């Protein structure tokens, strides 16, 4: 590989959703003709998320390796061979991979590295996501050996990869980002504190109905908030689907709370329009590597109440500045915060106005900055030849308070 040639960058995800399109489009627009961008999705159907098909890219090329299959339906070696072949046909110089633990991804990373490509892992896992077994962590460290660098979501994720043996100078922030413009455009509403009045807004949770999302605790807190309310409490909109839906509906009936609305699984426009009428986003997860819905809330000026486990709190939520951080088992604390935002319009307005300062770190251009830094470290001569320059009109990374 000619390391001074124009970068040819590949981004690989299992299934492209709106977030992935945002990142690739932002990179393609930033680099222009100074680099070529290819997005590879493995299958047309994801194992977890029910995103609608995303279609072709506007400014970058996108390919789907197995359009009618998901990962479970594609044999491992077929998956591996198709991925490597696509990267080689594109003559990739830099390959960004998500899913380090998936065998075809791991072996593709090894082969591409041996063939002289720069290989970068993308992830947002943190040490505190779950109980860790040291022997398993030591074995996991071997899975990162093929990678030249990492693009991660939060400072805690960066610390975790340092623990697993990656060089600190090769770990960059910026992975978890979405297009602020796209979300605002789909909402077709002025961001808070403008737009819908404070009195007409509702609480919102957007999450899979799975145990790690801790929705039962949120319903207990909402029930306590309702019992304390001396008038008509605000509605709580539950947006999502999953194996716990029946249990959650039973809990709502058992608690006798009438203000819960089950909205089902929302696509990108539905999420944006829901957030445009939201008083506060609630994300109470006991395990949450990041929480991209916080980015979407910021795009519309919505304060967030997030559990301390959420990776997004490292960069995007500051206590009593643009939202609140709670313990994931603190029912009374969450109820108190819901009551405060319900009753205190001035406090809500202050938090909503403060969200604007955090948007640069939530936007897809933050992903571009991370990619730019990776390229400058891995192939500085090629980047100088391409004439690429780092943005300077966003919040500086050195201003971010790390955990």
Domain limits of the chain?
A: 8-179+363-399, 180-359
Residue 158 in this model has a pLDDT that exceeds 80: yes
For residue 384, name the pLDDT band (cuts at 50, 70, 90). Answer: low
110/41 Cα distance (integer angstroms): 19
pLDDT tens profile 59-97 = 999 999 998 776 667 788 999 999 999 999 999 999 999
401 pLDDT more than 80: no
Tokens 């949120």 belong to residue: 218
Structure tokens at 33: 């003709």
Q: How many CA atoms lie within 13 A of 35 on its CB side?
A: 33
52 or 154, which is more confident?
A: 154
Counting beta carbons within 10 angstroms of the beta carbon of residue 85, is it exposed (0 to 12), middle (13 to 18) or buried (19 or more)? exposed
Give residue 397's pLDDT: 37
Q: Could you give the residue ranges of the DSSP H alpha helices within 188-241?
A: 215-228
- Residue 321's Cβ-count burial label (10 Å; 0-12, 13-18, 19+) is middle
pLDDT in the model for residue 399: 33
pLDDT at 52: 82
Residue entry with tokens 């040291």 = 134
Provide the CA 365 distance to its chain's centre, in angstroms.
Answer: 14
**The residue to which tokens 């455009």 are assigned:** 185
pLDDT, position 67: 83
As a whole number, mean pLDDT of residues 223-249 equals 96
CATH topology of domain 8-179+363-399: Rossmann fold (3.40.50)
The pLDDT value recorded for residue 385 is 59
Q: Which residues contact 225 (CB under 8 A, 6 or more apart)?
A: 233, 335, 338, 339, 342
Q: Mean pLDDT across the stretch 191-214?
A: 97
Q: How many CA atoms lie within 13 A of 232 on its CB side?
A: 6
pLDDT score of 71: 64
What b/e readout covers 260-287, taking b as 16+ CB neighbours within 10 angstroms?
Answer: beebebbebbebbbbbbbbbbbbbbbbb
The answer, yes or no, to whether residue 2 has pLDDT greater than 60, is no
Alpha-carbon distance of 381 to 371, in angstroms, equals: 16
Mean model confidence pLDDT for the chain: 92
Which tokens is 210 given?
């799975």
- CATH of the structural domain 180-359, one choice from 3.40.50.261, 3.30.450.20, 3.40.50.2000, 3.10.130.10: 3.40.50.2000
pTM: 0.92
Residues 122-131: what's their mean pLDDT? 95
Assign 4 a pLDDT band (cuts: 50, 70, 90): low
Structure confidence at residue 53 (pLDDT): 83
Domains 8-179+363-399 and 180-359 share a fold: yes
């Amino acid at each position: 590989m000619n390391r001074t040639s124009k970068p040819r960058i590949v981004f690989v995800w299992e299934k492209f959703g709106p977030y992935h399109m945002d990142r690739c489009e932002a990179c393609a627009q930033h680099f222009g003709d100074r680099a070529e961008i290819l997005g590879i999705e493995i299958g047309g159907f994801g194992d977890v998320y029910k995103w609608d098909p995303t279609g072709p890219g506007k400014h970058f090329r996108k390919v789907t390796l197995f359009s009618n299959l998901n990962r479970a339906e594609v044999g491992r070696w077929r998956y591996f061979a198709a991925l490597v072949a696509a990267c080689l046909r594109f003559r990739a110089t830099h390959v960004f991979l998500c899913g380090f633990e998936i065998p075809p991804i791991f072996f593709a990373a090894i082969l591409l590295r041996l063939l002289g490509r720069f290989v970068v892992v993308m992830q947002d896992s943190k040490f505190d996501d779950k109980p860790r077994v040291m022997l398993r962590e030591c074995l996991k460290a071997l899975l990162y050996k093929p990678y030249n660098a990492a693009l991660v979501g939060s400072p805690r994720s960066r610390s975790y990869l340092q623990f697993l043996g990656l060089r600190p100078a090769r770990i960059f922030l910026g992975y978890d980002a979405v297009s602020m413009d796209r979300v605002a455009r789909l909402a077709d509403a002025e961001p808070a504190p403008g737009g819908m009045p404070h009195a007409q807004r509702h609480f919102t949770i957007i999450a899979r109905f799975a145990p790690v999302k801790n929705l039962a605790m949120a319903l207990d807190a909402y029930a306590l908030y309702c019992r304390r309310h001396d008038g008509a409490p605000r509605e709580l909109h539950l947006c999502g689907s999953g194996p716990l839906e029946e249990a959650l509906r039973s809990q709502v009936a058992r608690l006798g709370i009438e203000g819960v609305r089950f909205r089902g699984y929302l696509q990108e426009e539905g999420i944006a329009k829901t957030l445009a009428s939201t008083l506060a986003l609630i994300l109470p997860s006991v395990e949450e590597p990041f929480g991209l819905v916080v980015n979407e809330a910021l795009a519309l000026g919505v304060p967030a109440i997030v559990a301390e486990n959420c990776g997004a709190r490292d960069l995007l939520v500051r206590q009593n500045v643009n939202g609140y951080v709670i313990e994931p088992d603190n029912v009374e604390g969450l109820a108190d915060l819901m009551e405060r935002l319900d009753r205190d319009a001035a406090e809500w307005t202050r938090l909503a106005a403060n969200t604007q300062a955090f948007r640069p770190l939530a936007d897809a251009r933050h992903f571009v900055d991370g990619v730019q830094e990776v390229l400058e470290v891995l192939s500085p001569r090629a980047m100088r030849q391409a004439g690429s320059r780092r943005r300077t009109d966003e919040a500086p990374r050195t201003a971010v308070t790390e955990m």
